[in-house]
Structure 1
Amino acid sequence: ANWIPDLFMKRVMEKGEWSLFSPNDVPDLHDLFGADFEKAYVAYEEKAARGEIKPYRKLAATDMWRKMLSMLFETGHPWITFKDACNVRSPQQHAGVVHSSNLCTEITLNTSDTETAVCNLGSVNLLNHIKRTDDGAKVLDHDKLQVTIKTAMRMLDNVIDINYYAVKKARDSNMRHRPVGLGIMGFQDALYELRIPYASNDAVEFADRSMEAVCYHAYWASTELARERGRYASYKGSLWDQGILPPDTLDLLAQERGGYVDVDRSSSLDWDALRQKIATDGMRNSNCVAIAPTATISNIIGVDASIEPCFGNLSVKSNLSGEFTVINSYLVKDLKRLGLWDDVMVMDLKHFDGSLRSIDRVPQEVKALYATAFEVEPLWLVEAAARRQKWIDQAQSLNIYMAGASGKKLDDTYKLAWLRGLKTTYYLRTTSATQAEKSTGRTGQLNAVSVHGNDASMSATAATAVADEPATDIKFCAIDDPGCEACQ
């Protein structure tokens, strides 16, 4: 990953220059962040301009930014992660520096010569916390969510004590800070239940309110555990100890950046009560919340991974156990209700890689609800993630899906991520330049489909069929599938 300081992003936004140094000449920058980093960095630039530091090179910050985005587009990484957002918003900044995230970019914990960061992860199935009210509406079940999270936080805190640590530095770190990372999965499934398209303001609002509830109850559970079991060893001097909660740290970030933080600050729960509770009882865990990819466990329980949009309404997942055909049961139910679920629809879904966009007989509202990952504009992914991030004390594994990527779209997306206060992003996933030809052993008349772009030479039928032969199963490449074990 690229570990990017805010000063660099400000130079990019302001069309300034960036200086390249040998790390040997600027060793203290490794442990500095925010305004302290900027002050030291500018001082080094002044020394270099006087000829006191060599080697040294200056270039346009936008040129380096384009190089980074070009590499990201070509390979999917190095990922874009923001050093100062991770550190300035860290509850543990008094105890050390966050030098990097973990592989999946959701864990942002201190590391040093004496401590190796360890985080114990768990995820709540958001789908199982949607309830129907007396008037028939579906809403988030706060009472059930609170019970689940209270149990989960106790379990994760237990893991710290009963776990096996192969490395002493890891055990020392875990026992001192006791960090855990409770996240969510099935976000897309919850949207299906609520009949909310991923690419919508309603989905962004649900991301905000649902993550606020998860974080609020997680922090409350940790302070309850502190009253029962005692505070974690390095609590004194932490942001928790100072009465500064994760949503409050957006103000700290804006102060350090001199602006450049633009995110909705609304809330719905009583954070003052939580702040008072923590002031009285402290915290059991230095960190409580992180959203992991959940590639395996979400497959096991049958929901979409983590906060991901649906990768495909009909797809194949592969791991060491074999290949598994995955079909969107919500879509099937809706198509059956509309009288559209038949062999013809199955063939069309195969032909269009699980997308409904080009199938004319599917209503537009159904297409919007079941839009797949590459049909959702990346700005919606960033906006929803920004609403979550304001509540989270660590970070989230945020894949960016981009169809028809251009330099401008890349530039706009990642600048928006920085302005919205995101700490990290994960893979950039783009569509392949070519697609495997799809064929079947059937002849006959299938759905009329729209003609778009490269499909101009395609006939109005998706395939041909023989009435007495079953459709041939078509296997899709799963290399770009975020749920694929090989991709993790």
Structure 2
Amino acid sequence: MPAEPPLDTPVARHLWQARYRAGAAESGIDTSWRRVAHALARIETARREEWENHFLDILQGFRFLPGGRILAGAGTGEDVTLLNCFVMGTIDDSVIGIFRALERGALTMQHGGGVGYDFSTLRPSGFRARKTGGIASGPVSFMDVWDTMCATIQSAGVRRGAMMATLHCNHPDILAFVDAKRDPRRLRHFNLSVLVTDAFMRAVAQDEPWPLAFPDLPDGNGGETIWLDWPGEAGAVRCRVARRLPARDLADRLARAGYESGEPGVLFIDRINRMNNLWYCERIAATNPCGEVPLPPYGACCLGSINLARLVRDPFSLQARLDTDRLAAVTATAVRLLDNVLDATRFPLAQQRHAARRARRVGLGITGLADVLLMLGIRYGSDASLEFAHGTMRAICLDAYRASIAIAREKPSFADFRREPFLGAPFVQALPAEIRDGIARHGIRNSHLLAIAPAGSISLLAGNVSSGIEPIFAADSRRTVPGPDGATVTLPLTDYAVRLWRAMHDRSDGVPDALVTAADLPLEAHLAMQAVLQPWVDNAISKTINFPAAIDFAAFSGVYRHAYDKGLKGCTVFRAAGERGSVLMPAAQPTCDGGDCG
């Protein structure tokens, strides 16, 4: 593979200077890598120089892309967190509890972290408050307060941090939540997801009525009570039913909101909790803003992605192959690097430090998958592409677990490790016997190891490799990014693999035969790719199913049922219509003379 200058695109140079460069002393991205490698190797008590060299080796050439906060903050001495995002604590259903939660979110965002909240604990609009007798305004109204806070924090020049809001599918205000972002001016700083239960999916399939209920509603709001597992509660609690509606009506409303606004997404919360490696000591009701790390209260995500596009040998040839030996080495070193981040980072809140270090969750993922497939001559969405993705993610998963076991032989296992219940977790039970035996003998350093993030900005920094596990958006496109003065700048992009192919063939246009873009793929292909990877990802996967603007609602509406049936933990959709889709735009494509585009 030909050598290339590290920052060889306008958008990469722009992003490094605007987001990741730590002052004028850094003359290039290589100095940024050295800063990060040195800072994270200082955590080691022995062989520091050796580990610094190992860390630098995987960072150089963009073989491993640490989360943006790590690259921007490690070794700078600034009072910022190195962790991309957090799930905040349970919101107490009182004015004091609500504004205490708001304060903690503001402090976290001030340090550069995104935040996730579950608003299911707030009583529905129109019902009386327990203590004052006043009328509650409901969770969605308080989300507006959070949205204003986020905008205010960002206006002060703090690094942008997104927010996630979740609401349980039984909550009486679920329809208001589902419809909230149909108004494009509302909740602009939030991503929204509905906590969808197995019971709801059964009710939809069987066309049953669905209860909207809340714990301990006053008797005057309805006489029927039911028992439900509720966020913020240790187990099932008595809930008073406010009303019932057909489950299919709610499902249709959810699908229509996704069709019109792209939100909310869905989180299959029972599956998330059932598959959680820490099922025995925590309950989850929210995720980080992009959905790839389900977290308990005050949990944090520590993210990084292996750039598969930089691990291909002899691309676009009959000998093209993934360097599996190098992949295994990068995986093992990346696990240790991310584990060190948990000790090197500052935490905005003491509760976050406690939660992160008790579990030592990390989220090692991949990016550049679509580019690798193109380099290997495999069409994204084909059976061959699914087989390749499945095998590659399996190898990464097993090597990551082996690495974490090896670290536990010299450093303690995570504090909440309990041998028998951990080995009884469904994900762990599906691992090979040699890994389970290693955990039984030596413990394991990290409760979770894998998560596939969108990896958007860092993939642009690495030369515009295809982000995460998404298909290539377009061979050529334009990207709108924030400029240094706050104004937006639109920059040209060419996909990394396409650019490499053109350079190898001394061309300025054209595309390889195997190119498949996001717009070319049917729904089933998107879901199939996510589904073959999920068995080897112990956190979750951020994947957006892109639909063309012209798709009719009938063809769109079954997406969540398909995602559930395929065993996914969540589903996010996007239909580029109206004001949406303006950040990334396809460029005009050249005409292929005589059909010769490859």
Superposition TM-score, scaled by structure 1 size: 0.71
SS in 2 for 1:59: strand
Instruction: Give the drift of 1:75.
Output: 1.1
- Kept after mapping to 2: 8 A contact 1:15/1:61: yes
**1:449–1:214 CA distance, 2 compared to 1 (3 A):** same
Higher share in strand: 2
**1:246–1:138 CA distance, 2 compared to 1 (3 A):** farther
CA distance, structure 2, for counterparts of residue 153 and residue 339 of structure 1: 39
> What amino acid sits opposite 2:479 in the alignment?
K
2:565 is the alignment partner of 1:419: yes
What residue number does 2:364 align with?
A: 182
2:542 is the alignment partner of 1:397: yes
The share of aligned pairs that are identical, in percent, is 27
**1:28–1:173 CA distance, 2 compared to 1 (3 A):** farther
2:250 is the alignment partner of 1:89: no
Instruction: Give the drift of 1:405.
Output: 2.8
CA distance, structure 2, for counterparts of residue 29 and residue 377 of structure 1: 36
2:481 is the alignment partner of 1:325: no
CA distance, structure 2, for counterparts of residue 336 and residue 287 of structure 1: 40
What residue number does 2:467 align with?
A: 305
Alignment match of 1:283 (pick from 432, 439, 444): 444
CA distance, structure 1, for counterparts of residue 468 and residue 591 of structure 2: 35
2:472 is the alignment partner of 1:315: no
What value does the CA root-mean-square deviation take over the aligned residues? 3.3
CA distance, structure 2, for counterparts of residue 247 and residue 57 of structure 1: 40
What residue number does 2:254 align with?
A: 68
SS in 1 for 2:287: coil
Instruction: Give the drift of 1:280.
Output: 1.1
> What amino acid sits opposite 2:568 in the alignment?
L
SS in 1 for 2:321: strand
What residue number does 2:380 align with?
A: 198
- Kept after mapping to 2: 8 A contact 1:92/1:110: no
What residue number does 2:414 align with?
A: 232
CA distance, structure 1, for counterparts of residue 308 and residue 592 of structure 2: 36
Q: Describe the superposition over 1:82-109 as per-residue Cα deviations: whole angstroms up to 9, x where unpaired.
A: 1011100000111110111111000112
Alignment match of 1:383 (pick from 517, 528, 535): 528
**1:16–1:32 CA distance, 2 compared to 1 (3 A):** farther
What residue number does 1:294 align with?
A: 455
What residue number does 2:311 align with?
A: 129
> What amino acid sits opposite 1:412 in the alignment?
G
SS in 2 for 1:105: coil
Instruction: Give the drift of 1:412.
Output: 2.7
2:342 is the alignment partner of 1:160: yes
SS in 2 for 1:166: coil
Q: Describe the superposition over 1:25-62 as per-residue Cα deviations: whole angstroms up to 9, x where unpaired.
A: 479622499xx98xx59x86xxxxxxxx4x53222211
CA distance, structure 2, for counterparts of residue 439 and residue 239 of structure 1: 53
**1:276–1:382 CA distance, 2 compared to 1 (3 A):** same
Instruction: Give the drift of 1:199.
Output: 2.3
**1:446–1:327 CA distance, 2 compared to 1 (3 A):** closer
Q: How many residues align?
A: 383
**1:334–1:161 CA distance, 2 compared to 1 (3 A):** closer
Consecutive unaligned residues in structure 2, runs of 5 or more: 1-192, 218-225, 484-488
Q: Describe the superposition over 1:412-468 as per-residue Cα deviations: whole angstroms up to 9, x where unpaired.
A: 322111011111223x221336999x999xxxx977999xxxxxxxxxxxxxxxxxx
**1:334–1:127 CA distance, 2 compared to 1 (3 A):** closer
> Any residues of structure 2 matched to 1:255-274 within 5 Å, and which?
271-274=432-435
CA distance, structure 2, for counterparts of residue 392 and residue 380 of structure 1: 19
**1:276–1:132 CA distance, 2 compared to 1 (3 A):** farther
- Kept after mapping to 2: 8 A contact 1:289/1:393: yes
2:556 is the alignment partner of 1:410: yes
Q: Describe the superposition over 1:92-145 as per-residue Cα deviations: whole angstroms up to 9, x where unpaired.
A: 11111011111100011222xxxx111211110011223359x95333332211
CA distance, structure 2, for counterparts of residue 399 and residue 72 of structure 1: 12
Instruction: Give the drift of 1:207.
Output: 1.7
> Any residues of structure 2 matched to 1:25-64 within 5 Å, and which?
25=217, 29-31=229-231, 53=240, 55-64=241-250
Instruction: Give the drift of 1:201.
Output: 1.2
Structure with bigger RCO (C-alpha 8 Å, 6+ apart): 1
SS in 2 for 1:145: helix
What residue number does 2:63 align with?
A: none
SS in 1 for 2:423: coil
- Kept after mapping to 2: 8 A contact 1:156/1:180: yes
CA distance, structure 2, for counterparts of residue 207 and residue 381 of structure 1: 13
What residue number does 2:577 align with?
A: 432
**1:185–1:280 CA distance, 2 compared to 1 (3 A):** same
**1:396–1:238 CA distance, 2 compared to 1 (3 A):** farther
- Kept after mapping to 2: 8 A contact 1:2/1:80: yes
CA distance, structure 1, for counterparts of residue 421 and residue 517 of structure 2: 39
SS in 2 for 1:425: strand
CA distance, structure 2, for counterparts of residue 95 and residue 248 of structure 1: 18
What residue number does 1:362 align with?
A: none
SS in 2 for 1:222: helix
Alignment match of 1:3 (pick from 188, 195, 214): 195
- Kept after mapping to 2: 8 A contact 1:126/1:184: yes
What residue number does 2:427 align with?
A: 246
> What amino acid sits opposite 2:264 in the alignment?
P
SS in 1 for 2:461: helix
> What amino acid sits opposite 1:287 in the alignment?
H
Alignment match of 2:294 (pick from 108, 113, 117): 108
What residue number does 2:213 align with?
A: 21
**1:332–1:284 CA distance, 2 compared to 1 (3 A):** closer
**1:429–1:171 CA distance, 2 compared to 1 (3 A):** same
CA distance, structure 2, for counterparts of residue 239 and residue 202 of structure 1: 37
2:277 is the alignment partner of 1:77: no
- Kept after mapping to 2: 8 A contact 1:160/1:175: yes
CA distance, structure 1, for counterparts of residue 400 and residue 469 of structure 2: 18
- Kept after mapping to 2: 8 A contact 1:245/1:275: no
- Kept after mapping to 2: 8 A contact 1:140/1:210: no
CA distance, structure 2, for counterparts of residue 228 and residue 153 of structure 1: 14
> Any residues of structure 2 matched to 1:472-483 within 5 Å, and which?
none
What residue number does 1:259 align with?
A: none
- Kept after mapping to 2: 8 A contact 1:231/1:283: yes
